[in-house]
Amino acid sequence: MSGAIVEQLVAIVGPANVLTTDLDRYEVDWTRRYTGRAACVVRPADTAEVATVVSWARRAGVALVPQGGNTGLVGGSVPRGGEVVVSLERLRHIGPVDALSRQVTVGAGVTIHDLHETARAAGLRYAVDFGARGSATVGGSVATNAGGINVVRYGMTRQQIVGVEAVLGTGDVVSHLQGLVKDNTGFDLASLLCGSEGTLGIVTAVRVRLVTEQPARVTALAGFDRVEAAVETMASLCRSLDTVDAAELMLDSGVDLVESAVGVSSPIPRAAAYLLVECSAHDDQSESLGAILGAAPGLSDVAIAVTPSQRDALWRLRDEHTPSINTLGPPLKFDVTVPIDRLAGFVSSIGRVVSDVAPKARTFVFGHAADGNMHVNVSGVVDRDVDVTDAVLRAVVAEGGSISAEHGIGVTKARWLHLNRSAAEIGAMRAIKTALDPDGIMNPGVLFAD
C-alpha cells in the first residue's frame, strides 16, 4: 500500500518531493511529546498540486496531516500513524506589498519572520508576533489562529486576515484574495478556516493586513513583590495608555530557570513577579510608561530599554522560557485564558492543583497577561498526564476560562473540548466538518475526539 501511495504521489509532485526517509523533522513535534509514522511526506509546489493531492487522497481513502513549520504545541501537526504529511514548505511566494491598502498576499509556507521582514522593508509591520516566528508559517498561524505578544493592541491572526485561498477536504479550491475590507457577501470562509487546525482544508495563500510601524518603541521590565501587584499594574497601564503593544507576565521560578538553563539573566534584582511591557507610538512613551510604573503598588525595581539591543535583552528573558522549560524534558503544556479579575488567583493557585495530582511535578506559569492568557507548563509528569490535564483544564473552566487561548485543541485537548463547547456547538462544528471534508481525510483525531 505504502509503495503504491508513494508512486501515485510521485506522479503528482515529482520524485524529489515525496519523502520516505529521514522524516524526523516532520514526524516529531516541537515538544518531542507527539510523534507518529507517516506513510510519506509530500511537498506540493502550489495550490493546484495541493488540490490534486487532496483529490487523490479522497479517492485513495488516505488521511492527510497538513504541516507548516511544525511548531504547533498541541500535537496536531504530526502524524498519528499512517497518514500522508502535506508539507506546505514550498509555498513561499511573497506578493508585492500594496502600500495603498497596506496589504500583502503570501504563500502558506512563508514564515512569520519573513513576513515581518517584507512588511518592514515597506515601512509597515505585520502585527502578529511570537517566539516561534523563525519557523512558524503563515498557513500554520491561520490554521491555529495564532495570538502572541501583540494581541492586546492588534488582535489575533483572525483580525489580520483579509482573505484566504485554500483547498477544502472536498478537493475544491476556494480563493478570495481581492483584499476588500468591506465584503459582506455571505459566509466568511477565511474566518471559518482560521482556527480550524487543518481539519477542514489546507490553506495555500493568505492576504493579510499590515499596520503602520510606530517609530518610537520602549520596553520596560518591572519587578513586583506579588503577582496581584503585577496584574493590577498591567490593567492600569492598558487603561491609561493606548500605545501598549505587549504586557507579559513572568514569575521568579521561570526567570530562575532561564538564568540557569540558557544563562540569560534579569537586569533587575529578583522579584516574585515580573511585567514586561512594550509601548510604541509616534512619539517617545518612556516618560508616560515610567510614571505609571514608578507609582505602581508593590514595585521593587524597573529597567527601561530604548535601544534595539537593550530591548532584545529584555525580550530574551521572556522568549527563552519555552526552550528553557524544554531542557527539563517534554513538558505538559497548557495554554489557557481566564478573566483578568481571576488572573492573579489562578496564577498563584495552579501549581497546587498540579501538585495535588503529581507531587513531584514542577509548574511554570508565564504568558500574555493583558489577554488573561497564561502558558502553564508542567515538567516531570511521568505517568499522570491525563489526570494532570483533567485537573488543570477543570480548574481553568471553574474560573470561567478557556482551555485553549491560542494554541488550539489539537489531539492534546480533544477529549476536553466539551468543557468549553456545548453539545449544540460541537454538533454544528461536526456538521461543517462533514460538509467540507465528507470523507474525514483532513487531520483526523484533531479537534474532535473519536
Ligand X SMILES: Cc1cc2nc3c(=O)[nH]c(=O)nc-3n(C[C@H](O)[C@H](O)[C@H](O)COP(=O)(O)OP(=O)(O)OC[C@H]3O[C@@H](n4cnc5c(N)ncnc54)[C@H](O)[C@@H]3O)c2cc1C
Nearest-approach distance from CB 52 to ligand X, in angstroms: 16
CB of 353 to ligand X, least distance (A): 23
Pick from 372, 373, 376, 339: which is nearest to 354 by CA? 376
CB of 360 to ligand X, least distance (A): 25
CA-nearest of 366, 346, 349, 411 to 385 is 411
Nearest distance, CB of residue 282 and ligand X, angstroms? 27
For ligand X, the closer CB: 203 or 208: 203
Q: Which is nearer to ligand X, 229 or 409 (CB)?
A: 409
Closer of 233 and 404 to ligand X (Cβ): 404
Residues forming contacts to ligand X in the complex (CB under 6 A) are: 30, 65-73, 76-77, 88, 108, 130-132, 136-137, 139-141, 143-144, 146-148, 197-198, 202-203, 322, 406-407, 443, 446
User: Are 76 and 117 spatial neighbours (Cβ–Cβ below 8 Å)?
Assistant: no
* Residue 408, all three cell numbers: 488550539
In angstroms, give the least distance from the CB of 269 to ligand X: 27
Minimum CB separation of residue 404 from ligand X in Å reads: 10
Amino acid at 258: V
Which single residue brings its beta carbon nearest to ligand X? 140
Closer of 298 and 410 to ligand X (Cβ): 410
Q: Which three cell numbers stand for residue 389?
A: 490535564
Residue with cell 483525531: 445
Q: Residue 283 CB, nearest distance to ligand X (Å)?
A: 28
Nearer to ligand X, 73 or 381 (CB): 73
The one-letter amino acid at 121:
A
What CA–CA distance (Å, rounded) separates 256 from 259?
5
Q: Closest CB to ligand X among 132 and 344?
A: 132
Residue 357 in 3-state DSSP?
helix
Q: With both helix axes pointing from N to C terminus, report the angle between 227-240 and 286-294 in degrees, rounded to the nearest 10.
A: 140
- Give the C-alpha separation, 149 to 368, whole Å: 6
Q: Of 138 and 293, which CB lies nearer to ligand X in the complex structure?
A: 138
Question: What SS3 class is residue 346?
Answer: helix
Shortest reach from residue 155's CB to ligand X, in Å = 12
Q: Quick one: 299 or 314, whose CB is closer to ligand X? A: 314
C-alpha to C-alpha distance for 261 and 259, rounded to whole angstroms: 6
Looking at beta carbons, which pairs linking 109-114 to residues 24 or more positions away fall under 8 Å?
A: 109/68, 109/137, 109/138, 109/139, 110/137, 110/138, 111/69, 111/135, 111/136, 111/137, 111/138, 112/136, 112/137, 112/138, 112/141
CB of 229 to ligand X, least distance (A): 24
H-type alpha helices, 252-384:
252-262, 286-294, 308-319, 321-326, 340-357
Q: Which residue has the cell 526517509?
A: 21
Identify which of residues 84 and 136 has a Cβ nearer to ligand X in the complex.
Answer: 136
**Closest approach of Cβ 74 to ligand X, in Å?**
7
| Residue given cell 522593508 in the structure block | 121
DSSP secondary structure, 26-89, as one string: HHB-TTSS-B---SEEE--SSHHHHHHHHHHHHHHT--EEEESSS--SSS-SS-SSSPEEEE-T
Least distance (Å) between residue 426 CB and ligand X: 18
Nearer to ligand X, 133 or 384 (CB): 133
Q: In the complex with ligand X, which residue's Cβ is closer, 138 or 221?
A: 138
Least distance CB 46 / ligand X (angstroms)? 13
- Of the candidates 134, 141, 139, 83, the one whose C-alpha atom is nearest the C-alpha of residue 106 is 139
When the beta carbons of 358 and 365 are compared against ligand X, the nearer one is: 365
- Give the number of C-alpha atoms closer than 13 A to the C-alpha of residue 46, restricted to the C-beta side: 3
